[in-house]
Structure 1
Amino acid sequence: MVSTLRIPRLVVAAPSSGSGKTTVATGLMAAFTGRGLTVSPHKAGPDYIDPGYHALATGRPGRNLDACLCGTGLLGPLFAHGAAGADLAVVEGVMGLYDGAAGQGDLASTAQLAKALRAPVVLVVDGSSQSRSVAALVHGFASWDPEVRIGGVILNKVGSDRHEELLRDALDEAGVDVLGVLRRTPQAATPSRHLGLVPVAEREPDAVAAVAAMAEQIRAGCDLDALWALARSAPPLTEAPWDPAGALAGAGTPPPAGPRPVVAVAGGAAFTFSYAEHAELLTAAGAEVVPFDPLRDERLPESTGALVIGGGFPEVYAPELSANAALRAEVAALAAAGAPVAAECAGLLYLARELDGAPMCGVLDAAARMTERLTLGYRDAVAVGDSVLAPAGTRVSGHEFHRTSLEPGAGADPAWGVVRPGPARTEGFVQGGVHASYLHVHWAALPSAAARLVARAVRPGAAR
């Protein structure tokens, strides 16, 4: 018997980046939460930063939905898992509506996700510098793919009452509903940096105020009743929710018997990039997941038997991370003892010998530095050898996103062989129990990674 999930939902998309998707999506999440609804926040693509604002707006974890990292078959199940118990789900798109993985059609695009979720799309259109042409623009987006349902438009950066009237008249001719109009006013303060918005963890009081301003902007300019009706028009979903325990069982990796090992997970302002499903998988694999902040904590959590250090901005906090010599020594000692350590991007830099001249943990004999060059994109890769995360030959889809370089870029035993795009190359380090790489991988597509790490973790009371 197929179960159905009746969750009202909206996908917030735009013709291009910079149109105001984040403001509208986050504002909608906060505004509907303010109405007493339980809102489930989601983000298309691999971005870690916007989900932090979504979580602030809703009080629930911001979750990513990425067909490239997880495969199209997991889009519905991961959405259903994240939206369980919610009254409404709001999904913020990525780039332009039809933009996806380079050279791969609509793969990982907002349009593909909207179709997979059978969700109506709210198109956020920058109305500045146009009037009647807006109808042609919206008509093109609405007719390009008949499987994508444009449920209405929110006009952004509208200059005046007369400007609004011209835009509304044009869209009325095109038969497209205007669900909101946001004026050309100073936007809620969401400062950016070299990799996008400044994460919530680095500016929480200001971020709270920014999200409140977004909510007020949406309440003042949008028809929330019409948007709620549009969300409720989405048909039921039939995909079974993703389940971390079921994913591990399906991978043939049930939790081991015995005491639950402590897996310390880096957080705080320097390490803000993580997927919620990773901690859920670690817990389902039998671990006790304990967060710690390398900027503040001088000791690893009590009885730490494994370490996960995800992405973030260590380059911004290099002096402070370096000054915490006691913690750096504990991390180095844990790695030297053979405990499993999984490090991605920021974690890779933290394990290096130095970052922009500041001493780091010295687990890896490599030096990192900031550069002007942005490295960005999806990567197809294969595990070069056995590691704490994957056996040799394991194929993954990952994502790279940084402005740093590492010398050398790969160890004697690399973490991955990148096979696409561009010339084949190796990158990252496998060293004892350490797996360190620039590549971000979503463990929902590789649940055995969590199981392997927990299986090798040192149990409380065991000798290292």
Structure 2
Amino acid sequence: MNFSVGPPGLIIAAPRSGAGKTTVTLGLLRALRRQGGAVQPFKCGPDYIDPAFHEIAAGRPSFNLDSWAMGEELIATLATEASAGATISIAEGVMGLFDGAAARGRSGTGATADLAALLGWPVVLVLDVAGQTETAAAVALGCARYRDDVDIAGVILNRVASQRHFSLVAPAFDRINMRIFGAILREDRLALPERHLGLVQAGEIPAIDQRLDALADIIAAAIDLDAIGQSARPAKAAIAIREAHSDGARSRLQPPGQRIALAQDRAFSFMYPHVLRQWRHAGAEIVPFSPLADDPPDATADAVWLPGGYPELHAGALASAHSFREGLQKLARRSIPIHGECGGHMVLGRGLEDADGNRHEMTGLLGLETSFAKRRLHLGYRRARLRIACALGAKGTEVLGHEFHYASTVSTSDDPLVDCWDAAGAEVPEQGARQGSTTGTFFHVIDRIAI
């Protein structure tokens, strides 16, 4: 075994969503980076938006760590090997600290607490204390005592109204012997724009670096950065990474080809970094192209992958991208594997109706018709068994992923690709689609289970 534990790490979490985890994480990443350290960001759970902000703030790719969909082997590998050269790792939690799926997955329920217990990284709680005084300490104490395997290193108080407000909150933390790393006053400049799937993408925000620098200024002035750094701990040696021939290594997602044409632009930006990392480690070459720029996929590719994103916001441009469409169709006629996830799946279909009810012609490689005119949320973990061999793996392979979109299926004429269940084991309507060598799913694949 290789006992690689990586740099010390910690997790920024909160008792609930909306308490300020992302804001504090981004400010910490940029502030610590400005001090001269190399900061490795991570995100707990299936998220694309936050990691894109992390990467700009820290200057290093942010990796997802998901205890429901990932095995311990993959989590350990990412938490240690992906942070090579970093001086500290900082993971942003998801939802409330203990909130996860209804049933346990491969390494946990997907809750931030499961990741903290697995890695042994201490938790820094972000508490929104607006309208509270001593109750904030009671909430923090409850979090600290709820699970013996989760270590709360201290708290950051957020949305503090004034110095007087702080003086009413702080004494209760002294009584429970819990450290306050700092207090952030209510500050309008901390807000970032949002849209229906979360924050607006990092690359779409004008002067994003200046905004992150301003955020880092606020965080650095309010929080004891040295104390934060000293609270971090290396990942547990007990989850040491196994040799490449282990069962854990065999369970990883294999590349769909040797030379993979990957759609990458504002319409196709939701690609998990750990998947690309695994493909490259397996010897695959990634060849990016932009459908929005009407680029065709590389004609010499032996696989094409269309990630998710926001195709509905660019449906008109995609409908006019004739070189892109013709390039895909040529590869499909040669039986080259072509796979789309969520937004990519929709673009492989016949048509997409935008939020205003306008239908846009898509590539037509699948028979799928989708619509955003009537929003309907599809959300949750997915376990899927492949009915046939395809870009996702051999027939019978089980893959784990996550679905999150508001599109409705108007019609489909495709063969089903998968049998699919949610985190609790209940069957879900998602069956994916297949026509020839072209396939698609509404879920984004995260990991696979060895067969």
Q: TM-score, normalised by structure 1?
A: 0.88
Q: Tell me, yes or no, if the aligned pair for 1:201 and 1:272 is still in contact at 8 Å.
A: no
| Alignment partners' CA distance in 1, 2:277 and 2:164 | 51
> In structure 1, what is the equivalent of residue 335 of structure 2?
338
Distance 1:62 1:337, change over 3 A: same
Size of the alignment, in residue pairs?
441
Q: Structure 1 residue 36 and structure 2 residue 36: aligned?
A: yes
| Alignment partners' CA distance in 1, 2:385 and 2:238 | 33
> In structure 1, what is the equivalent of residue 188 of structure 2?
186
Q: Tell me, yes or no, if the aligned pair for 1:16 and 1:95 is still in contact at 8 Å.
A: yes
Q: Tell me, yes or no, if the aligned pair for 1:382 and 1:395 is still in contact at 8 Å.
A: yes
Superposition deviation, residue 280 in structure 1 = 2.4
Q: Structure 1 residue 276 and structure 2 residue 273: aligned?
A: yes
> In structure 2, what is the equivalent of residue 390 of structure 1?
393
Q: Tell me, yes or no, if the aligned pair for 1:190 and 1:197 is still in contact at 8 Å.
A: yes
| Alignment partners' CA distance in 2, 1:146 and 1:14 | 17
Q: Structure 1 residue 145 and structure 2 residue 141: aligned?
A: no
Partner-residue secondary structure (3-state), 1:10: strand
Gaps in structure 2 of 5+ consecutive residues = 354-358
Q: Tell me, yes or no, if the aligned pair for 2:402 and 2:446 is still in contact at 8 Å.
A: no
Partner-residue secondary structure (3-state), 1:157: strand
Superposition deviation, residue 395 in structure 1 = 1.8
> In structure 2, what is the equivalent of residue 359 of structure 1?
361
Distance 1:135 1:424, change over 3 A: closer
Partner-residue secondary structure (3-state), 2:219: helix
Q: Tell me, yes or no, if the aligned pair for 1:188 and 1:211 is still in contact at 8 Å.
A: no
Superposition deviation, residue 283 in structure 1 = 2.5
Superposition deviation, residue 331 in structure 1 = 1.4
Distance 1:410 1:394, change over 3 A: farther
Residue of 408, 412, 426 corresponding to 2:411: 408
Superposition deviation, residue 340 in structure 1 = 0.9
206-215 vs 166-175, which moves further? 206-215
> In structure 1, what is the equivalent of residue 293 of structure 2?
296
Q: Tell me, yes or no, if the aligned pair for 1:244 and 1:284 is still in contact at 8 Å.
A: no
| Alignment partners' CA distance in 1, 2:413 and 2:78 | 33
| Alignment partners' CA distance in 2, 1:253 and 1:369 | 31
Listed as ranges, the matches of 1:31-430 within 5 Å are 31-104=31-104, 107-203=109-205, 205-231=206-232, 233-234=233-234, 237-241=237-241, 250=250, 261-301=258-298, 303-356=300-353, 357-370=359-372, 371-408=374-411, 411-412=414-415, 414-420=416-422, 421-423=425-427, 425=429, 427-430=431-434
Superposition deviation, residue 73 in structure 1 = 4.1
Q: Tell me, yes or no, if the aligned pair for 2:157 and 2:182 is still in contact at 8 Å.
A: yes
Superposition deviation, residue 320 in structure 1 = 1.5
Q: TM-score, normalised by structure 2?
A: 0.91
Superposition deviation, residue 238 in structure 1 = 4.6
Distance 1:56 1:42, change over 3 A: same
- Partner letter of residue 237 of structure 1? A
Gaps in structure 1 of 5+ consecutive residues = 449-464
| Alignment partners' CA distance in 2, 1:179 and 1:62 | 24
57-66 vs 421-430, which moves further? 421-430
Distance 1:290 1:242, change over 3 A: farther
| Alignment partners' CA distance in 1, 2:400 and 2:22 | 26
Instruction: For residues 71-128 of structure 1, give each alpha carbon's deviation from its aligned partner in whole angstroms, at most 9, with x where no partner exists.
Output: 3443222211221221100000000000011244961100000011101100000010
396-405 vs 300-309, which moves further? 300-309
| Alignment partners' CA distance in 2, 1:250 and 1:108 | 22
| Alignment partners' CA distance in 1, 2:388 and 2:382 | 18
Distance 1:135 1:65, change over 3 A: same
The alignment-based identity, stated in percent, is 38
Superposition deviation, residue 25 in structure 1 = 1.0
Distance 1:22 1:342, change over 3 A: same
Instruction: For residues 334-358 of structure 1, give each alpha carbon's deviation from its aligned partner in whole angstroms, at most 9, with x where no partner exists.
Output: 2232101121101101111111111
Superposition deviation, residue 185 in structure 1 = 1.2
> In structure 2, what is the equivalent of residue 451 of structure 1?
none
Q: Tell me, yes or no, if the aligned pair for 1:190 and 1:207 is still in contact at 8 Å.
A: no
| Alignment partners' CA distance in 2, 1:409 and 1:24 | 44
| Alignment partners' CA distance in 2, 1:72 and 1:254 | 18
Residue of 425, 437, 441 corresponding to 1:433: 437
Superposition deviation, residue 66 in structure 1 = 0.5
> In structure 1, what is the equivalent of residue 356 of structure 2?
none
Q: Tell me, yes or no, if the aligned pair for 1:355 and 1:369 is still in contact at 8 Å.
A: yes
Superposition deviation, residue 224 in structure 1 = 0.3
- Partner letter of residue 214 of structure 1? L
